[in-house]
Structure 1
Amino acid sequence: MIIYGVYIVSKSGGLIFNLDNNVPRIEHEKTFTYPLDLVLDYDPKKVSVAFNRKDGINVGHVLVAVNGLPVNGGTIEDGRDVKATLESADNFPINLKFSRPKMTTNEKIFLASMFYPLFAIASQLSPEPKSSGIELLEADTFTLHCFQTLTGVKFIVISETGLNGMDLLLRKVYELYSDYVLKNPFYSLEMPIRCELFDNKLQELLLQVEKTGINNIDK
C-alpha cells in the first residue's frame, strides 16, 4: 500500500500544506542513434522532453545524464554544452538518461489552484443536487482522493491505484488537522500550515497505513 502524498487546499483554493511521502524516482535510460527522435526544450535550468515519447520517456521528463555523465542545467559534467552535443552526428550513438522531474513548490501551488475550479465545475455539472464535487479521480498510475470539510477546506491524498477505504484515511488526516492545527490560537485558516507536531503525526499515520493497512489505523 503506497501513499504518494498529502495536500491541503484552503477554502479559497490556496495550497496551505503538502507532504511528499513515497514518490518513486522514475528513470529511463536508452541509447539513441542520429537524429534524435525526441524534441527537447533547452531551458537554461533543465533540458526536458517537449514532444514525442519513447520507451517510457514522456513529455516533461528531464535529461539527467549523457553517456553516464550527470547533466546540470544545459551543461554536461565535463563542460560540454548539451544542445551542441546532441545536435552533432559525430557524438552518436549516445546514451541518454531521463527522469521524471520533482515538482517545485510553485508547481504544486499552481496545480492546487487548478484543482479548485475543477472541483467547483464538477459540483455544478453533477445531475445530483448538492453534489460534494470530486471525491475520486482515477488515472492509470495513481488515484486522487478528496474530502471537503463543511468550511470548504479540501484534504487530498494521492495513492497507488486499487486502494479501498481511503475515506477513512482522509477523515483521520482531518482529525489530526483539527487536533494539532486548528487548536493553535495563532493559526489562521488561510495561512500555510507550519506545525512540526502535525507533520510528525501525519508521517506516523501514513507509515502505519502502509505497513498495516487502512482498517488498522485506529488500533
Structure 2
Amino acid sequence: MVVYGVYIVSKSGGLIFNHDHSVPRIETEKTFSFPLDIKLDYDKKKISVAFGQRDGIFVGHQLIAVNGITVNGTILEDGRDVKEILENAENYPLNLRFCRPRMTTNEKIFLASMFYPLFAIASQLSPEPKSSGIEILEADTFRLHCFQTLTGVKFMVVAEPIQTGLEVLLKKIYELYSDYALKNPFYSLEQPLRCELFDQNLQVLLESFEKTGITNI
C-alpha cells in the first residue's frame, strides 16, 4: 500500500506544507514515423506534449529520451539538438519516451487554493447543518482524505485507492503538527511550515504506516 503525499492548507486556503512521499514515475515509450502526429511545445527547460494525446501519452507529458538517449532540456545527452532531430524525416522511425512531470510548487499552491472553495461549497450543499465538508474524495487512481481542525487548518493525505486507515494517519500527522509547530511560540498558523523535526518524524510515520499499518512511532 502506498501513500503519495501529504498537504497542509491554512485556514485562509494557502498551502503551508507539502510532502511528496512515494509519487510514481509514469513513463510511456512509443516508436513514431514521420511526420509526428503529436504537437510538441519547445521550452528552454523542457519539451512537452501540447496537442494530440494518444496511447498513454497525454498533453503536458514531457519528452525524456530519444532512441534511449536522455533529453536534457532541449538537447540530447550527446549534444545534439532535439528539435532538429525530430524535424528531419531521415531520422525516422524514432523511439520517443515521455513521462508525466511532477507538480511544481506553484502548481501545488494553485491546487490547494482550488480545494479551499470546493470544501466550502460542499459544506453549504450538505442537507445536514454544520457539515464537515469534503472528508473523502475518491478517483480511479487515488483517494484523498481530509481532516479539518477546529482552527480551520486542513490536513490532506493522497494515497492509492486500496489504502485503509487514513483517518488514523491524519490524526497522527496532526499530533506531530501540534508537537513541532503549535508549541513553537514563534510559529504563525498562516506561515509555511519549515521544521526539520516535523519532516523527519513525518517520514518515519509514513514509512511505518505503509509497511505495517501501525501509526505508533
Q: TM-score, normalised by structure 1?
A: 0.93
* Separation (CA, whole Å) in 1 of partners of 2:174 and 2:54: 41
Please identify, of 138-147 and 75-84, the stretch whose mean Cα deviation from structure 2 is larger: 75-84
Residue 178 of structure 2 is matched in structure 1 by 178
* Separation (CA, whole Å) in 2 of partners of 1:90 and 1:128: 66
Note the aligned Cα RMSD (angstroms): 1.5
Residue 207 of structure 2 is matched in structure 1 by 207
Give 3-state SS (helix, strand or coil) of 2:137's partner.
strand
* Structure 1 residue 177 displacement after superposition: 0.6
Residue deviations 1:141-188 (CA, integer Å, cap 9, x gap): 111111111111000101001222211111111111111110011111
* Separation (CA, whole Å) in 2 of partners of 1:152 and 1:48: 38
Residue 193 of structure 2 is matched in structure 1 by 193
Residue 4 of structure 2 is matched in structure 1 by 4
Please identify, of 140-149 and 54-63, the stretch whose mean Cα deviation from structure 2 is larger: 54-63
In the alignment, structure 2 segments of 5+ residues that lack a partner are none
Displacement over 4 Å in runs of 4+: none
1:70-81 equivalences under 5 Å are 70-81=70-81
* Structure 1 residue 32 displacement after superposition: 0.9
Q: Number of paired residues?
A: 217
Identity of aligned residues (%): 73
In the alignment, structure 1 segments of 5+ residues that lack a partner are none
Residue deviations 1:113-142 (CA, integer Å, cap 9, x gap): 111112112222223222211111111211
* Structure 1 residue 196 displacement after superposition: 1.0
Residue 128 of structure 1 is matched in structure 2 by 128
Give 3-state SS (helix, strand or coil) of 1:5's partner.
strand
Of 209, 212, 217, the match for 2:215: 217
Give 3-state SS (helix, strand or coil) of 1:101's partner.
coil
Residue 28 of structure 1 is matched in structure 2 by 28
